[in-house]
Every structure is written in structure tokens, then in C-alpha cells.
Structure 1
Amino acid sequence: MPDILPAADAHEISTLKARYFYYLDTKQWARLVELFASDASFEGFAFGADGPADFVATVSAFLADVQSTHQGFMPRLGATGPDTARGVWSMHDYLTWDTGSRIYKDVDVPAMYGIRGYGYYEEEYRRVDGRWLISFSRLVRTRIDPLVNRGPAPEYDVLGPDVSWVG
């Protein structure tokens, strides 16, 4: 069982993970890659990845024509050493694409236009040059609900995110 993580470190790691979700949804790929240790590894995603650059290249291609909303919450964080930590985040994602334009996880669902997913991120973090980075990330899905038979989508006049608001 990991030790108690100092509050300042827990806050930094929580901010790191919040940036991860924000950069995914706002498609800020150059900023996303900066969140990972150079030797970071990945498991459980809908695609394979060999290191951070490959992960970002692959996730950016995967999300190119996808509208996404990712949420991470209820973190459980613990120290595994003076500059290492582990965490588990509950997660929910909502991904949509053009109806019938893709198959997800090799399951062909007629008229599918997206998924609603649930599960956890199991991660390891390492402090490098005074900064916490993700050194391992595993996506564990406990449920995937296909979204099917979409009717006409209403157009709402909404304000989009200002990606320069906070770094």
C-alpha cells in the first residue's frame, strides 16, 4: 500500500491529470506530450503505443474526427518513494463520431455514433526536474455503452473553451 502523499504533491498530480483530460478534449497535442516522462508506457487503450510521442500521435489520429468529453474524479494517490507515486482515478468518457464511420474495439454495432465509457486510470508518476509527470498509464474499462440511432442533433449556441485561459 502506498504511503501518504504530501498535499502539495497530491495537488500537483491532480492538476497534471486535469491538464491531461483538458488537452485531450481540446486537442492540444504538443502540450499533451509534455505531461509524460520520456520513458512512459501505456496499456489498455483502444490502440497500442510505444512511448509518449507514439501515444500522442496515435490518440490524436484516433480523436481527429471525434468529439470527446473526458472526466477523471475521486483520485486515490499515494507515495511509493520520495519522487514517485501511484494513483487510481475513476473515469468517464463520452466520444461521438459520424454515424457508422467506425468500429470500436472490433465490435461492429449498426448505426453506432459513439460510446460512453466508464472505468479507471491506474497510473504511476515520477518527479523529473521538480515536475510531476505520468510515467505509466493504464486505462481499465469496466463498462462501454455504444451510442446508437442518433436523431437529428440540435445546434446550440455555446461558448467553446479558451485554451489560453490556464496553462
Structure 2
Amino acid sequence: MDALTTLLEIEALKRPKAEYFFYLDTKQWDLWLGLFTRDIILQWDRAVSTRGEDGQTMGPLVGIDAIAQAMPVSMNDLQTVHHGHTPIIDLTSESDATGVWAMEEIIGAPHRDYILHGFGHYRETYRKEEGRWRISKLHLTRLRIGRKSL
């Protein structure tokens, strides 16, 4: 792959991640689910810097149907703000890529007396299907989690 094509593909890979944050925070579930491959694997660490080793994880959720059932139920009552920064994206073939995104999140819920403020990384793999990049694996690891009482 020549340098220009590589740069264009890396730029194209940034769009689904920007849409991921926007659709998640605005609760546009159909559009959000459209960003993933059918065999998607999602996992979020709930604790700091464990990468799931201590069992403090959500998931993994495997397959688009499992995610479609779990996410709206668990997220609809939450007020969320997600930001992704400074991606490290590598093309591993013409139809596969990996990425790491620095992340900041703020999560609040009307039924809780605190707001969670987290920092970490999204570690992802991507697959190009029908000319469009989709997320095929996502693992959120956290470096810091703070809670602020309301």
C-alpha cells in the first residue's frame, strides 16, 4: 500500500471512533450498533490498570445481538460524555487494522449521588467490510477513575 493510500485509510479509521462517542453519548443505538462487525467483542475494565486480570470487567459481550440487548438497558439512564484523543492506528492489511485511543469519560446517573470521571485507553481492532471500516474488538482499560459527590 502506498503512503497516500495508507494516510487516507488511517484518516478513514478515525470516523467510526468519532461516531462511536457521539452515538453513545446521544443514545442513538441503531447508528452506534452499525459501527461494529457482527462478531464484535466488547469489554470494559471497571477497575484501574488491570486489563481485566482481577475480574473487574464488564463483558466480554460477544456478537452484535448480545450488545444490542445489553447496552440500551445499561446506558439509557446514564448521562455520559466521552472524548477520544491521539489515536495510534496501524494497518495490518488492506482490510484489518489496530488502534489505541486515549480516552476521557464523565458518567453520571440520576439515581446515584456521584459522577464518575475516568481516563484510559480504548484498544481496538478494525475490519473493512463492504468498503467501510468497522470495530471488530474493543477493550477499554482505565488508568484513573475518580468519583465526585453531587
* TM-score interval, smaller chain: 0.7 to 0.9
1:59-138 matched pairs, under 5 angstroms:
59-98=71-110, 101-102=111-112, 112-138=113-139
- What's the RMSD between the two structures over aligned residues? 1.7
* Distance in 2, Cα, partners of 1:33 & 1:45: 20
SS, match of residue 124 in structure 2: strand
Q: In the TM superposition, what whole-angstrom CA distance separates every residue of 1:72-112 from its partner, at most 9, and x where no partner exists?
A: 010000011121000000000001112xx35xxxxxxxxx4
2:10 equivalent in structure 1: 10
State the identity as a percent.
33
Q: In the TM superposition, what whole-angstrom CA distance separates every residue of 1:46-73 from its partner, at most 9, and x where no partner exists?
A: 5322212322432222221111100001
Q: Which has the larger radius of gyration?
A: 1
Farther off after superposition, 87-96 or 49-58 = 49-58
1:52 matched to 2:64:
yes
Q: CA deviation at 1:31?
A: 0.6
Runs of 5+ consecutive residues of structure 1 not aligned to the other structure: 103-111, 151-167
* TM-score in terms of structure 1 length: 0.75
SS, match of residue 21 in structure 1: helix
Aligned length: 135
* Distance in 2, Cα, partners of 1:38 & 1:130: 15
More helix by share: 2
Runs of 5+ consecutive residues of structure 2 not aligned to the other structure: 47-57
1:25 equivalent in structure 2: 25
* Distance in 2, Cα, partners of 1:75 & 1:14: 8
Q: CA deviation at 1:114?
A: 2.1
* Distance in 1, Cα, partners of 2:44 & 2:79: 21
More strand by share: 2
